Amino acid sequence: MTTNKPLINIVWLKRDLRLVDNEAIFDALATGERTLLIYTFETMLMEDDHYSARHWNFIRESIVDLNTQLESYHSKILTVEADIILTINQLMEKYTIRDIYSHQETGILITYNRDKSFKRFCKNNLITWHETINNGVQRGIKDRDKWTEQCNAYFEIEPLTFNPAEGQLLSIKNIELLEPLLVIPSLETPVDAPFQKGGRTMGLKYLESFLNKRYLNYMFHISKPELARTGCSRISPYLAWGNLSIREVYHKAYHLKTTAENKKPLEAFMSRLRWQAHFVQKFEMEHTMEKESTNSGFHKLKKSISEDYKLAWQTGQTGYPLVDACMRCLNETGYLNFRMRAMVVSFFTHNLWQPWQAASKHLSQKFLDFEPGIHYPQLQMQAGETGNNMLRIYNPVKNSLEHDPEARFIKKWVPELRELETPFAHEPYLMTELEQQLYNFELGKDYPYPIVDMEKTRKQASDTLWNLRKDKKVREERLRILKKHTLRN
């Protein structure tokens, strides 16, 4: 049967909100066919508890930035508020669609199930869905035998360019003719939000300022809660939402390393980029870790949820200043450096003895750079439930003394402690009644007493987890996990 509907390619953008080094876009344009770029704000995701307004605003800002880049091509992103199948169905009323391009998303279970439904939809409608590799992560592999070589080969490829032919992208005029058929969301966002602003333009600014100078302090400041805010690259949200590709960042760092006098911080930074791909690959191969411990031997570990403990931890009212400063900072800004992320999870799962699952969605909502493939492996590793990673139970006081010795970060985020001398800002619960009177400060009123005994709870958690690591099932699972996920190089 013939049709008079014009033929177009569709590029379905997900966590790859960029034009450069976007294989889905590159492949669609290589066909020479007219191409429409779309993004769908999917109801199922917008209602999912993993996400929050800060994520959707970051995406809106990213789309606005993309549209600015597309102005010179007289095009823009067709942005729709609907599920992807409904969107494609509506587009097929106006166009013939034979090919859809997107990247393989290593996302939460709901996105994996959506993709399976979409694959059936495409098959039923005689559409070929082309899925491209994202940041070197391979789908369908059973172990890591050849993964390192495949990943290396991916990273060695020069980042892909964006060069559409004249008029190849669907024009703004044609896109605007489609919009009355669809639900078009507003792309307005709060002007004064305290979060990093979304979009490739801003991502490149962070990357360039890091590679120009800030990288020199990378190794010295990476563990410091305050200094890391400038000493680290701060590009993680732009990688998580795909404003930048890991490959292009890796290439920029690599080229700088060839001429830089101080190569070690760049090598450490590049190692972290490869580490990111490794952990996302683990999640791709072991998707059940979203809901349960990868090491099934730990399923017998039963922890009761305390809503009081959970609320105190979420709101920064535990009585341990560094923990509270970190949680308040995260709630307000969407960012914590890696060591402090590990510490707050350790405190929640070990000292408060809460299941890591009870921390998962609060943290995913607050981390502006929420990346499922990093989120879940790290939660389980910091909770000590892998069976093959070193058990780390972080001491908040030791960490505050080492990494925030003058209590600047603590006093910034826990203003109740600003007028105290530095030693008391680290451990206010050591103040005598007389000292409290001298500072016009009352424990239990101005700032909470510690909600648990840190040393006692640390020992209980350590004893329980070390004993469980001797369990037959835990040991068997440990070997299975090592065989599946260990890099052969």
Every domain of the chain and the residues it spans: 7-181, 200-285, 289-485
Closest CA to 346 of 452, 458, 460: 458
CA-wise closest residue to 19 among 248, 252, 197, 177: 248
Percent composition of the chain: helix, strand, coil (DSSP 3-state, to 5): 55, 5, 40
Q: How many CB atoms lie within 10 A of CB 94?
A: 14
CA 11 – CA 170 distance, rounded (Å): 11
Q: How far is CA 479 from CA 286, 468, 482, in A?
A: 15, 15, 5
pTM for the structure as a whole: 0.96
In whole angstroms, how far apart are CA 213 and each of 208, 216, 256? 9, 6, 11
Alpha-carbon gap, residue 29 to 437, rounded angstroms: 72
Type of residue at 141? I
CA–CA gap between residue 432 and residue 142 (Å, rounded): 59
| Same fold: 200-285 with 289-485 | no
Q: Which residues contact 175 (CB under 8 A, 6 or more apart)?
A: 36, 75, 76, 78
Multiple choice CATH, 200-285, 1.20.1250.20, 1.25.40.80, 1.10.10.10, 2.40.40.20: 1.25.40.80
The CATH architecture assigned to 7-181 reads 3-Layer(aba) Sandwich (3.40)
Asked whether 213 and 260 are in contact (CB, 8 A), the reply is no
Any residues with CB less than 8 A from the CB of 110 and at least 6 apart, and which?
44, 45, 48
pLDDT in tens, the chain (489 residues): 456 899 999 999 999 999 999 999 999 999 999 999 999 999 999 999 999 999 999 999 999 999 999 999 999 999 999 999 999 999 999 999 999 999 999 999 999 999 999 999 999 999 999 999 999 999 989 999 889 899 999 999 999 999 999 999 999 999 999 999 999 999 999 999 999 999 999 999 999 999 999 999 999 999 999 999 999 999 999 999 999 999 999 999 999 999 999 999 999 999 999 889 899 999 999 989 999 999 999 999 989 999 999 999 999 999 999 999 999 999 999 999 999 999 999 999 999 999 999 999 999 999 999 999 999 999 999 999 998 878 999 999 999 999 999 999 999 999 999 999 999 999 999 999 999 999 999 999 999 999 999 999 999 999 999 999 999 999 999 999 999 988 765
- Report the chain's C-alpha Rg in angstroms: 25
CATH 1.10.10.10 corresponds to the domain 289-485? no
